[in-house]
Amino acid sequence: MNRIIDIDALEILDSRGFPTVRTTVLLDNGTAGVAMVPSGASTGEREAFELRDNDAARYLGKGVLKAVKNVKQKIAPALKGLEVHKQNYIDQLMIELDGTPQKKNLGANAILSVSLAVAHASANANKTPLFKNLNKDLQNFFLPVPLMNVINGGQHANNNIDFQEFMIVPHGANCFSESIRYGAEVFQKLKSMIEKMGMSSAVGDEGGFAPNLDSNEHALSLILDSIESAGYAPGEDISIALDVASSEFYKDNLYHIDSEGLKLNSEEMCSFLTKLVKNYPIVSIEDGMDQNDWTGWQKLTSSLGNDTQLVGDDLFVTNVEFLQKGINEKSANSILIKVNQIGTLSETLSTIELANANNFEVVVSHRSGETEDNSISDLACSSGATQIKAGSMSRSDRLSKYNRLLVIEHMLGADCSFSGSKIFKK
Ligand code: PGA
Ligand code: ZN
């Protein structure tokens, strides 16, 4: 039967050195499942609640001992004795135990740590890799195209670039491992180009470079040069994706692009992005418009949506309710999926299902604060996601996700395919 006999949790540190929750679900057959939760910096307003201690005497108030206590003293007693394979039932029980829409009582970090640890424990009890255990009927797995964040700006770096992420998309590769090689080669070329310009090649939170450049376009041209100097054709082999993260610089109904001295209204922001897509091989733009500028999103989608992927991150926060609004109103054509934005695996899977049913592309994503946990790699392969965004080609918290996908590709051999260029309309 594989019943839960104990749940333990502790406070560990994430990739930024801030506390997060690590949880172990122990089963009566002696097996266990472990999960660690990530944490964002440019969080959406409507995300599930991350419970922190706010005790200034510890970790600048960012401790998670309350969340750990909630796992051990509130969630564990409710789950002991339950069959571990009943993921939906267990997640629903935790949602009810919390009783608030944003998981404010127990904390989404507490709940998610248990939800993911349950998934791992179930897979381990079945002696099945997580990606197979999550979707037992699937025969042909698709490995996601990686979106690699090679230049970091915005909230993720101490530089003057407004846009948060400049990503390379090696969609022209014929398999996942080749796409990783393409990306890693471009990353190294970019590094030497930045150093030749006399700038620092130190990296930001997601392992991408964080040079001080005079404009967002400068970052784009630098990436184009690095793609070419690595011997690849921009747009054919490797394209560019942006996470504008515009909610971070939307103030008083205007988009403040400080590095270029611009203050744009919604219409002008839409034209600004449309021009960038015309001039550069950009296949995907995430959060081009603010999380509350729903009409701006509609404008952007009618202007670019036919041939460019427009990804809602802060807009949808992995929540079926907001995704449904976006589907109804034709805002965006793709969704970013972050497990801790919603707080349980089952709810994450429901959101992915709704996206798949409405032809929205699914991009499974890490957070800027990460750990060595790589559950999202298995999630991407099992759920029909066509892409994964897990940071740059440096730092083990990022590479653990890509390395896990290399292992999955190796395990599956001929039983997996790579989505590649087919998914991008442009
Ligand atoms: P976050 O950023 O994890 O800091 O919220 C990632 C993103 O905006 O995609
Ligand atoms: Zn984002």
192 and 101 fall within a common domain: no
Among 93, 127, 161, which residue terminates a domain?
127
What tens-digit pLDDT sequence spans the chain (426 residues)? 899 999 999 999 999 999 999 999 999 999 999 999 999 999 999 999 999 999 999 999 999 999 999 999 999 999 999 999 999 999 999 999 999 999 999 999 999 999 999 999 999 999 999 999 999 999 889 999 999 999 999 988 888 899 999 999 999 999 999 999 999 999 999 999 999 999 999 999 999 999 999 889 999 999 999 999 999 999 999 999 999 999 999 999 999 999 889 999 999 999 999 999 999 999 999 999 999 999 999 999 999 999 999 999 999 999 999 999 999 999 999 999 999 999 999 999 999 999 999 999 999 999 999 999 999 999 999 999 999 999 999 999 999 999 999 999 999 998 889 988 788 866
The DSSP output letter for 24 is E
Atom of ligand 1 nearest to the CA of 336: 9
User: Is residue 331 situated within a structural domain?
Assistant: yes
User: How far apart are alpha carbons 2 and 14 in whole angstroms?
Assistant: 31
Statement: the pTM of the whole predicted model exceeds 0.85 = yes
- Quote the pLDDT of residue 421: 77
Per the structure, the count of domains in the chain is 2
333 and 253 fall within a common domain: yes
- Quote the pLDDT of residue 323: 98
From the CB of 129, is ligand 1 less than 6 Å away?
Answer: no
Among 127, 162, 183, which residue terminates a domain?
127
User: Is residue 367 situated within a structural domain?
Assistant: yes
User: How far apart are alpha carbons 8 and 419 in whole angstroms?
Assistant: 39
5 Cα: distance to centroid of ligand 2 (angstroms)? 38
35 and 177 fall within a common domain: no
Residue 206 annotated in active site? yes
From the CB of 206, is ligand 1 less than 6 Å away?
Answer: no
From the CB of 243, is ligand 1 less than 6 Å away?
Answer: yes
- Quote the pLDDT of residue 142: 93
Burial class (CB in 10 A: 0-12, 13-18, 19+), 16: middle
**The token pair that represents 403 in the structure block:** 């390395």
Among 127, 154, 172, which residue terminates a domain?
127
**The token pair that represents 2 in the structure block:** 């594989």
Determine which residue's CA is closest to atom 1 belonging to ligand 1: 40
Nearest by Cα to 419 from 138, 131, 143: 143
Could you list the residue range(s) of the whole structural domain that residue 59 is in? 4-127
Nearest by Cα to 390 from 216, 176, 225: 176
User: Is residue 133 situated within a structural domain?
Assistant: no
Pairing of strands 19-27, 4-13: antiparallel
Pairing of strands 334-337, 361-365: parallel
- What are the start-end ranges of the E strands in 144-197? 145-152, 165-169
Looking up residue 156, the CATH number of its domain turns out to be 3.20.20.120
Looking up residue 85, the CATH number of its domain turns out to be 3.30.390.10
| Catalytic residue (choose from 206, 286, 370, 409) | 206
257 and 198 fall within a common domain: yes
102 and 67 fall within a common domain: yes
Amino acid at 251: K
158 and 93 fall within a common domain: no
